[in-house]
């Protein structure tokens, strides 16, 4: 009985000590890191160019489709009902194809972004772990994904991570 009491007393004292221990939380802004480091800027530039190219293609096709619709409206009174129906169906198919192409382009850009950012994120993860350990934080969270609104002992590690990445050998390879 005395042995059991000693075990419970020891566990109680240990848990009380752990509750009082202060947890230090590291906070990072991953979007700022990605937008600030050179490799991240290069990736964003590639994505922007790809997006602008696809946007120009879609705009050109949309203008062509609008001209066809305007031409149809002008000629509608002269067309037979069968010809009207056929032209309307044709225009609807072209509109659907353009919408599908737009969605395909969005998926392409999204996939391209994931493929381009993956190696960079892997490099940054190593730096985050290193800086977090050096700063003595117990937990590091990303600002936009974190439900933490307030923490007494938090450190913003974003600028330290950017600086460490910019001075690392990985950033010089690109």
Q: In this predicted structure, what is the pLDDT of residue 154?
A: 81
The rounded distance, in Å, linking the Cα atoms of 30 and 157 is 10
Does pTM top 0.85 for this prediction?
no
Q: In this predicted structure, what is the pLDDT of residue 20?
A: 52
Q: In this predicted structure, what is the pLDDT of residue 141?
A: 87
Q: In this predicted structure, what is the pLDDT of residue 11?
A: 52
Q: In this predicted structure, what is the pLDDT of residue 18?
A: 47
The rounded distance, in Å, linking the Cα atoms of 166 and 163 is 5
160: Cβ contacts below 8 Å, ≥ 6 apart: 131, 135
Architecture of domain 21-173 in CATH? 2-Layer Sandwich (3.30)
Q: In this predicted structure, what is the pLDDT of residue 78?
A: 86
CA distances from 3 to 6, 8, 16, 161 (A): 5, 9, 20, 50
Q: In this predicted structure, what is the pLDDT of residue 49?
A: 97
Q: In this predicted structure, what is the pLDDT of residue 116?
A: 96
CB 139 within 8 A of CB 26: yes
Residue 136 — left, alpha, or beta (φ > 0 → left; ψ -120 to 50 → alpha)? left
Q: In this predicted structure, what is the pLDDT of residue 32?
A: 93
| pLDDT < 70 positions in the chain | 1-21, 146-149, 169-174
Helix (H, G, I), strand (E, B) or coil at 141: strand
């Amino acid at each position: 009985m005395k042995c059991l009491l000693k075990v419970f007393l020891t566990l109680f004292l240990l848990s009380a000590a752990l509750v009082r221990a202060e947890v230090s939380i590291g906070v990072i802004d991953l979007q700022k890191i990605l937008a600030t480091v050179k490799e991240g800027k290069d990736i964003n530039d590639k994505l922007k160019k790809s997006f602008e190219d696809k946007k120009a293609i879609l705009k050109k096709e949309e203008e062509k489709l609008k001209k066809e619709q305007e031409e149809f409206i002008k000629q509608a009174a002269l067309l037979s009902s069968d010809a009207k129906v056929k032209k309307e169906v044709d225009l609807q198919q072209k509109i659907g194809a353009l919408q599908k192409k737009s969605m395909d382009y969005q998926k392409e850009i999204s996939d391209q972004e994931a493929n381009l950012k993956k190696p960079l994120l892997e490099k940054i993860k190593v730096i985050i772990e290193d800086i977090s350990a050096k700063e003595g934080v117990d937990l590091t969270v990303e600002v936009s994904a974190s439900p933490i609104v307030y923490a007494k002992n938090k450190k913003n590690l974003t600028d330290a991570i950017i600086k460490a990445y910019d001075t690392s050998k990985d950033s010089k390879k690109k």
